[in-house]
Structure 1
Amino acid sequence: MKRKFKVSLILILMLLVFMSLAVNASEKGCLDCHSDQEYLKSKEDSKVYVSQKKFNKDTHAMFGCVTCHQGNLSASSKEEAHQNLISKPGTSNKAEETCGQCHTDISHRFEKSLHGTARGQKNGAVHLLGEEVGTQTWNDYCARCHADCSDCHLKEKDDQGNMVTAVDSHNFKQPTTSNCVDCHSQTGFSYVGWGEEYPESVHSKAGLECVDCHGEEQMHGDGEVHQSMTEVVDNNCADCHDNKKKEYNGLPVNQFNEYSYPHATHKDDLDCSACHTDWYMNCQEGCHLEEPPKYTVGELTSDDFYLGRYEGKVYTMTKTPLPTYPEVPNKDVPGHAWVVKVRHSWSDKAKSCETCHTNKKIYPQKLPTIKGKLIKKETVDRIYIDKERFKNSVHGMLGLECADCHQVDRTAKCIDCHSIENIKPIIETADKANEAKGDLKEKLDKIRKEFHYNPGEANSSLKELN
């Protein structure tokens, strides 16, 4: 046992000595040039400055430059030193021989991941445009945007707040929300907010980062080949809000009450996002293109809120553009389609009943879908309530609200209100309230509404008033 311990100790010491020599060699070679700003300024070709002070604070400083960048340490000229140099070791096609030296499992999984391949974008384009045109569109535009290690682990904000690759610091770190927003701009900005008019989500206010929900396997892949994000992202609100043991920063997380109104009515049919999305960022024209698109697909707006179906539940939807074509080939439709998108502008305040039940415009009936289905017109007609008609109905004039009849835990029946005995004082009070003025009218209105919640107390208040 002692012998094994001594051997292990010797090996560790040898490794540390080797790493120390590599670092010293790197410093004498690479950093002789790359840490000298005055020298670099005198050169006309591309130059990369590395702050040795910043770099020494990073975890990777112990390895030295050649561990990741390769090249020739013993060379005396730039040309020789840069032989077999890997200038961007974080790129996907180099990860296995650079980052993968230490992060072997991650680099193998990342090769197949959606972040590493952008396969989901390609599949969406092919689904809508067909194999030939869809593949060409993806090659021309989307294929340029797949992520690499540096995009997530080496980017930070500059003085203007823009995300830039911080080469001088080499400060590799766990991605923050800012890193994610850099690519996932529409979902990202709906999470962190867009000025005073478009507030940040309740989770962003609480200090949660994207990685608090979207874990390591979702970022780097699980080693399997997946066709779209829906196969990878398996988070749901219940992970935290239907878990009594869940805490954040030492405080218990608010829990979902399946018996409360309107949860009891909608919990089996609606995704949480359908009610708790505060505002909505729709896809805008030409987000990722250098040249202008041939048509307008939308604008930043908080009121263009749309719903559709996916796997048996109602979700928020958006129009997603394919901004290279004014018309989708072989289909007589504009160059965009509906897709289920769960924007992250969540609020602890839900949408009102009126949002969905008095506005048919939120249920689109045209254009194809990439993911999800449009809600059928007959279903929309069935759940639609004409607001003006209701306002002028008996129930509307009495001031009833949706919850008065539709609360599951109230077990209200028509006869509860519509027996002669029960309805007579309500009608009489309503008549008096319509004729009254000032404080009397205000008191009678209050009593009239109280009949729907506590008839006994309402009767007592009415007798006292008389």
Structure 2
Amino acid sequence: MTAFFKPVLWAGFFVLAGVLPASAACLDCHQPHALDESDPHAFLAQQCQACHLGEVDAANREDAHAGMISSPGWLDNAAETCGTCHVDETRHVVEGLMHSGRGMVNVTRHTVGEQDRPDQGDGRLDGLGHTPADSILRKHCASCHLGQPQHQMTTEDPIGSRGGGCLACHAPHETQRGQGHVTLSATVSDQSCSGCHSRSGRIALNYAGLAEVDAHVLDENHPNPLGRLPDGRLVESTHRDVHHQAGLACIDCHTTRDVMGPTGQFNHGSDAVDIQCADCHDNRQPRITEADWPSDLRGQLGRLPFERDPQRRFLTTERRSTPLWHIELRADGSKILHRKVNGGSLPIPPLTEASHPDDGHHDRLTCSTCHTQWAPQCHGCHMDYDPEKEQFDHVAREFTPGSWSDQRWNVHNDAPPMGVDSEGHIVTFVPGMIRTIDHPDWEQTQFRRYFAPLSPHTIGPARSCEDCHRSSQALGLGRGTLEHNGDEWVFNPNQADLQDGLPADAFVDLEGRSGRTTRAGARALTAEEIQRVLNALPP
């Protein structure tokens, strides 16, 4: 990788080492592309070469454009452009999960049987080979990672946006741009997140109350309004997260450190998340002042949405001690969140003993386990590889031989099952895959039943006691009827058994047989745990 260079101070301004302020020669031809004064890089208005390189003093167009970079910030040039000033941030992004896709690669290889564990391996989206698992990733998954050039998939709407490195978040989407130079910003809108995060766990859709459904619902008396996304996917409108209802954008919760890094040491995106519910609603961390501010985040102090005071105290996250600079602590003990994107402010409701009694019975449950309203769940999938067809390879960036097709069915958007994560917490799970898959290199069809822990971002009122203690879905048994027969519980499933003897939508059965998970150390509830949950309420 190209070396990173520190900026140097000249006449009160930061300029690139070895580059003195130049004349506006570039703007003699590119005047419409002058930087807007609101751009944080406006101090470089006369130094186009600071980001775009090229030969600013050249006398003709060809020489001036020699070595020029038209899109600074793509990860193949970020070290020479953004990285000359934003040294650590650029390194973290290049090493981070949104670029490497480490967890996605290792999990895919594990579920196809190419490696033993889902949390170990040298998986990187920019280093894929041509095994069946890597072929799936090349043809279906690698379009999202930040190492891709900025491009559109299926639609010009932001939901189709992919790649772009630093520009993926910090530049407005193409349809939002005027005729001049784009105005970069640290205020990242939800549209910048939606392109990649509306797939797989569909968190961007879930948060806004949009649940993907299959076309057969068009022929049914469907209870919720239906519509289509700009890329053609059919969705129903359902409960949206209470934080979305309150006007909070993604970056109102997710901090610089869990989005940009350092995340290179983590295996999965969920491991890299910094923020937790308690950081806002029940923060018991020591308060900090400006004097305690982390050196790598000093720039945030200039963005405070309230009066700056060296004695003012701030909240920090429990996981990484990241300052929550947009939350104002009032003298009366109340907390006010100032929205970063949508403006305005609102009080943060505190966790109270009256609504969350500390009875010791639910210590293992995370907040979202009780407060999740629904999650996207697909309980049927078949994938098939045809070596005679061609399909676009997102790593090679061209059409190559071999094509993967997939079909899905048994889709539901309702209460998800519970399970145990690798730290022993009770969390919500969704089917990572309940699928069959065919490849000509294999002697027979593979069948896999894997579930994955997911925080669906559909927070609302807490489940009732019965919603967990009497729900076959919550326990992971699937849809059906639970009955208490004498001294034992009996479950009658609605769906037929598959090859492994479990109902099509089940995570586990009453005997303790279960599907696997995509996280090392995570699991379904045991038979003993299920019995304890069922017996906690009178039959």
TM norm. shorter chain > 0.5? yes
- Give how far 1:238 is off: 1.3
Cα distance change of structure 1 residues 151 and 168 upon mapping to structure 2, 3 Å threshold: farther
Question: Given the alignment of the two structures, is residue 90 of structure 1 paired with residue 73 of structure 2, yes or no?
Answer: yes
- Tell me, what secondary structure is at the counterpart of 2:431? strand
TM-score, with structure 2 as normaliser: 0.56
Equivalent runs, 1:49-448 vs 2, <5 Å: 50=33, 52=34, 55=36, 57-63=38-44, 64-75=47-58, 79-129=62-112, 130-131=114-115, 132-147=131-146, 148-156=165-173, 158=175, 168-174=180-186, 175-185=188-198, 186-194=202-210, 197-222=237-262, 224-243=264-283, 246-249=335-338, 252-258=347-353, 260=355, 264=359, 266-282=361-377, 293-296=405-408, 299=411, 301-303=412-414, 305-310=416-421, 311-321=423-433, 325-326=437-438, 334=447, 337-347=450-460, 349-362=461-474, 363=476, 364-365=507-508, 366-371=514-519, 372-384=522-534, 390=539
- Whether the 8 Å CA contact 1:151–1:165 is kept in 2: the answer is no
Q: Quote the Cα distance in structure 2 between the aligned partners of 1:305 and 1:255.
A: 26
Deviation track 1:421-448 (CA, whole Å, cap 9, x = no partner) reads xxxxxxxxxxxxxxxxxxxxxxxxxxxx
Q: Quote the Cα distance in structure 2 between the aligned partners of 1:65 and 1:10.
A: 17
Between 1:97-106 and 1:233-242, the stretch displaced more is 233-242
Higher strand share: 2
Deviation track 1:277-334 (CA, whole Å, cap 9, x = no partner) reads 1222336979xx97773231664x4325222111212111112359994589799754
- Whether the 8 Å CA contact 1:282–1:304 is kept in 2: the answer is no
Q: Quote the Cα distance in structure 1 between the aligned partners of 2:406 and 2:435.
A: 7
- Tell me, what secondary structure is at the counterpart of 2:530? helix
Deviation track 1:231-288 (CA, whole Å, cap 9, x = no partner) reads 32142211111136543246552222346566635431211111101222336979xx
- Tell me, what secondary structure is at the counterpart of 1:203? helix
- Tell me, what secondary structure is at the counterpart of 2:259? helix
Cα distance change of structure 1 residues 102 and 205 upon mapping to structure 2, 3 Å threshold: same
- Tell me, what secondary structure is at the counterpart of 1:296? strand
Calculate the aligned-residue CA RMSD, in Å: 4.0
AA aligned to 2:204 is G
Q: Quote the Cα distance in structure 2 between the aligned partners of 1:331 and 1:368.
A: 20
AA aligned to 1:92 is L
- Tell me, what secondary structure is at the counterpart of 2:76? helix
AA aligned to 1:138 is L
Q: Quote the Cα distance in structure 1 between the aligned partners of 2:13 and 2:360.
A: 66
Higher helix share: 1
Q: Unaligned regions of 5+ residues in structure 2, if any?
A: 1-7, 116-130, 147-164, 211-223, 226-236, 284-332, 339-344, 383-390, 393-402, 477-506, 509-513
AA aligned to 1:256 is L
Deviation track 1:14-39 (CA, whole Å, cap 9, x = no partner) reads 979x999536112014x16xx4xxxx
AA aligned to 1:248 is L
- Whether the 8 Å CA contact 2:375–2:416 is kept in 1: the answer is yes
- Whether the 8 Å CA contact 1:198–1:302 is kept in 2: the answer is no
Cα distance change of structure 1 residues 23 and 77 upon mapping to structure 2, 3 Å threshold: closer
% identical equivalent positions: 27
AA aligned to 1:125 is T
- Tell me, what secondary structure is at the counterpart of 1:93? coil
Residue matched to 2:485? none
- Tell me, what secondary structure is at the counterpart of 1:155? coil
Residue matched to 2:489? none
- Tell me, what secondary structure is at the counterpart of 1:58? coil
Between 1:308-317 and 1:241-250, the stretch displaced more is 241-250
Q: Quote the Cα distance in structure 1 between the aligned partners of 2:37 and 2:168.
A: 21
- Whether the 8 Å CA contact 2:97–2:103 is kept in 1: the answer is yes
Aligned residues: 353
- Give how far 1:357 is off: 2.1
Q: Quote the Cα distance in structure 2 between the aligned partners of 1:75 and 1:205.
A: 54
Cα distance change of structure 1 residues 24 and 236 upon mapping to structure 2, 3 Å threshold: same
Q: Quote the Cα distance in structure 2 between the aligned partners of 1:370 and 1:10.
A: 52
- Whether the 8 Å CA contact 1:150–1:165 is kept in 2: the answer is no
- Whether the 8 Å CA contact 1:192–1:201 is kept in 2: the answer is yes
AA aligned to 2:80 is E
- Give how far 1:87 is off: 2.7
Q: Quote the Cα distance in structure 2 between the aligned partners of 1:166 and 1:134.
A: 42
AA aligned to 2:371 is H
